[in-house]
Structure 1
Amino acid sequence: MPLHKVVYLSNNTKLYLWKITEDFDTLFNEVSLKDSSLKRLKDMKSESHQKGFLAVRMLLKYLDYTDFDLYYDEFGKPHIKPQGCSIKEVEISISHSNDFSAVVISEQKVGLDLEQLKEKTLKIAPRFMDVSHLDNLSQEEKIKKATVVWGIKECIFKIKNEKGISFPNHIFEDDFSFEDKKSTATLIFNGKEENFNIQFDAVEDYIFVCAFQN
């Protein structure tokens, strides 16, 4: 069972990473899926996405949940049912990128994004970030930082999940150094200003980012 890593982000937040080494059939035979999930799996055109979807269910199984405990609201945001007799609500966020799937469980509102490092992210950086934050960095450092910024904006969007939010026009990252592994960001949208704490790190050639709403 290739649970790759557990990252303790806070006293009430844990990130779980699954490295996908199994073939489709192995993953499929290890989990039970409700009818809506079976349909969703069948409709996926990419086997990579299918395996990522199943690996998330493997993580749920590791955490003593099942696909039947996971549900999505009308906006597509995932939620998890409390375990056993617990009435304590927990938050969940999910992400998948190529060889890794990830799940974060928290008692706080949280958003998770997982991205593989690639040149393309840097090429499109002017579309989503303040590129002055990339000044005086090496090419490798620029790719890492741009990937973190993309992740910050994805995470905040996942938390808020409101139509009309623009990455460049509404979500603003504060400058940071990659070595800090943390930052802050602000969402200014519909006349409101909301602040978020950010944590991030590298795992092999991937970056994970988590955002927490203040």
Structure 2
Amino acid sequence: MPLYKTINPNSKTCVKIWKIEESYEVLFQSVNLRPECLKRVLGMKSELHQRGFLSVRKLLAEFGYSDFDLFYDACGKPHLKDGKQISITHSFNFSGVIVSDDSIGIDIEKQRNKITVIAHKFIGYENQYLSENDADYIKKLTVIWCVKEALYKLFATPHLSFKKHCLVIPVSDNETETVAWIEYENKKFRYHIQFLEFEGFTCAYAIP
């Protein structure tokens, strides 16, 4: 069963992660799509992206929803018709969905050395505690990226800067929780962060 993991951070929130093992054809035949989503998935040039898109619909079904319950606002943020909050992610052969009564955000990323090339674009405050000589430098960068991506999805505000507006408090070894802040237009917003690592991937999700 490709439902890889289910996590309940609190009584109002559930995270589900899917390991994408099915072929595009199997996934495509197992979901019903709205016409606009059907057009979108058929127009994707990458089968990897197609499978990621369809696996998210499989996760929706695990929550009791379908593609017809999902819509996007002008900023591209997903919403559910019943009013619950949702955030979506997929990376290579994993996808994730978080559903909650509160505003939330989630991201999954593969741990890759190439993240060092773009680190200067999203690392600001975190330079105070990061070291390139750290054996876990790649993993720590990936956690920070995932956290900031999750915050970006949660906040859904144009021009929010990963580097300038998002701050991630350092995490001690073997811990899987931290705190992150968004400082935007002279206001501060505090979020609780939980993250996990599996099969060379990192997943982080933000909740108030």
Check whether the contact 2:75–2:158 (CA below 8 A) recurs between aligned residues: no
Question: CA shift at 1:136, angstroms?
Answer: 7.9
Is it true that 1:17 corresponds to 2:17 in the alignment?
Answer: yes
Is it true that 1:122 corresponds to 2:111 in the alignment?
Answer: no
Identity percentage of aligned residues: 38
The one-letter code matched in structure 1 to 2:105 is G
1:75 maps to which residue?
A: 75
Equivalent-residue separation in structure 1 for 2:151 and 2:13 (angstroms): 17
1:202 maps to which residue?
A: 197
RMSD: 1.5
Equivalent-residue separation in structure 2 for 1:202 and 1:122 (angstroms): 19
1:39 maps to which residue?
A: 39
The SS at the match of 1:183 is: strand
Check whether the contact 2:16–2:96 (CA below 8 A) recurs between aligned residues: yes
2:139 maps to which residue?
A: 144
Alignment of 1:119-198 (within 5 A): 119-129=113-123, 130-135=126-131, 138-139=134-135, 141-198=136-193
Question: Which string of whole-angstrom CA distances, capped at 9 and with x for unpartnered residues, describes residues 132-183 of structure 1?
Answer: 32238633x1111110100111111111111111111111111112521111
Check whether the contact 1:125–1:131 (CA below 8 A) recurs between aligned residues: no
Question: CA shift at 1:74, angstroms?
Answer: 1.1
Equivalent-residue separation in structure 2 for 1:210 and 1:34 (angstroms): 28
TM-score normalized with structure 2 length: 0.94
Equivalent-residue separation in structure 1 for 2:153 and 2:173 (angstroms): 22
Check whether the contact 2:6–2:14 (CA below 8 A) recurs between aligned residues: yes
Equivalent-residue separation in structure 1 for 2:15 and 2:62 (angstroms): 13
Q: Structure 1: which 4+ aligned runs deviate by more than 6 Å?
A: none
Question: Which string of whole-angstrom CA distances, capped at 9 and with x for unpartnered residues, describes residues 43-62 of structure 1?
Answer: 22211011000000011122
The SS at the match of 1:179 is: coil
The SS at the match of 1:164 is: coil
The SS at the match of 1:119 is: coil
Equivalent-residue separation in structure 1 for 2:153 and 2:195 (angstroms): 16
2:86 maps to which residue?
A: 92
The SS at the match of 1:9 is: strand
Equivalent-residue separation in structure 1 for 2:24 and 2:195 (angstroms): 29
Equivalent-residue separation in structure 2 for 1:177 and 1:106 (angstroms): 27
Gaps of 5+ in 1: 83-88
Question: CA shift at 1:208, angstroms?
Answer: 0.5
Size of the aligned set, in residue pairs, is 206
Gaps of 5+ in 2: none
Question: CA shift at 1:42, angstroms?
Answer: 1.9
Check whether the contact 1:185–1:196 (CA below 8 A) recurs between aligned residues: yes
TM-score normalized with structure 1 length: 0.91
Equivalent-residue separation in structure 1 for 2:117 and 2:8 (angstroms): 32
